[in-house]
Structure 1
Amino acid sequence: MTNNSTRLDHVVLWVADPVAAAGFYERSVGLEPLRVAEFAAGEAPFPSVRVNEESILDLAPLSSAERTRMLPGSADSAGHPVNHVCLSLPAGAFDALRARLREHGVPVSDIGHDSFGARGEARRNFYFRDPDGNVLEARHYGE
């Protein structure tokens, strides 16, 4: 990938309790939390979790929706359904995530096969929800 190619930087998820959401994504999904202490201290508007070296999920407090003013009507996006966010993992990490979610009591869907995505057909995939109802998909493409 080159520096002038388009990349996904972040996705903002509305959550009721950003600290609890960061804990879920750390413990159950295995993502690194960012700025949680700063958020708790009132020094950052929201915490995040790192998906990879280039992408994060921002965990925006639903209570701040009415103050969202980047575009007219932005506050109305709170509660608007995004169908799901998909995490692409190597096969071993895919299996480890599914096991970790079950270990933490997070319901997961059945395993699907040959689902189309950014890199073509994924060999396996499954879905789960975070505590705020956001739907995530996990998938892997190769061995």
Structure 2
Amino acid sequence: MTDNMTRLDHVVLWVRDPVAAADFYEKAVGLEPVRLPEFAAGEEPFPSVRVNEEALLDLMPLSMAERMKMLPGAAESAGHPVNHVCLALPQGDFDTLLARLEERAVPVSDVSQGSFGARGEATRSFYFRDPDGNVIEARHYD
């Protein structure tokens, strides 16, 4: 990638309890929390979890939805969930994630094959929900 290439920077997920959400994403999904101590100390409005060196999932408190005023009408649509967010993982990390979720009794969908994504058809994929009901897809490519 080059510095002038368009990239996905972050996705905002609405959550009831950002600390609990960060804990889930760290322990069940394996993503590193960012700004969690600062959020807990009241110094930052929300924490995040790092997907990779270039992308974050922001864990926005649902209580902030009414304050979304970046565009006319934004407050009325804030808190509306996206359909799902997809994480592409190496095969070993995919298998580890599936096992970790099953250990924690997190319901997961059946594992499917051949779903289309940014890099073509995925070898395998499955879906699960975080504690706030956000749907996450995990997949790997060969």
TM-score normalised by L of structure 1: 0.97
Query: What is the distance in 1 between the residues matched to 2:141 and 2:47?
Result: 30
Tell me the residue number matched to 1:50.
50
Residues 85-104 of structure 1 correspond to what in structure 2 (within 5 A)?
Answer: 85-104=85-104
Residues 28-39 of structure 1 correspond to what in structure 2 (within 5 A)?
Answer: 28-39=28-39
Query: What is the distance in 2 between the residues matched to 1:26 and 1:64?
Result: 23
Query: What is the distance in 1 between the residues matched to 2:56 and 2:97?
Result: 17
Query: What is the distance in 2 between the residues matched to 1:27 and 1:77?
Result: 31
Q: Give, in angstroms, the shift of residue 72 of structure 1.
A: 1.3
Unaligned runs of 5+ in 1: none
Give RMSD over aligned pairs.
0.8
Structure 2 contact 127–136 (Cα < 8 Å) conserved: yes
Runs ≥4 residues deviating over 4 A? none
SS in 1 for 2:114: strand
SS in 2 for 1:106: coil
107-116 vs 78-87, which deviates more? 78-87
Q: Give, in angstroms, the shift of residue 129 of structure 1.
A: 0.1
Query: What is the distance in 1 between the residues matched to 2:76 and 2:117?
Result: 28
Tell me the residue number matched to 2:140.
140
Count, aligned residues: 142
Counterpart code for 1:38: E
Counterpart code for 2:101: L
Determine what percentage of the aligned residue pairs are the same residue. 76
Unaligned runs of 5+ in 2: none
Tell me the residue number matched to 2:14.
14
SS in 1 for 2:24: helix
SS in 2 for 1:114: coil
Query: What is the distance in 2 between the residues matched to 1:30 and 1:75?
Result: 32
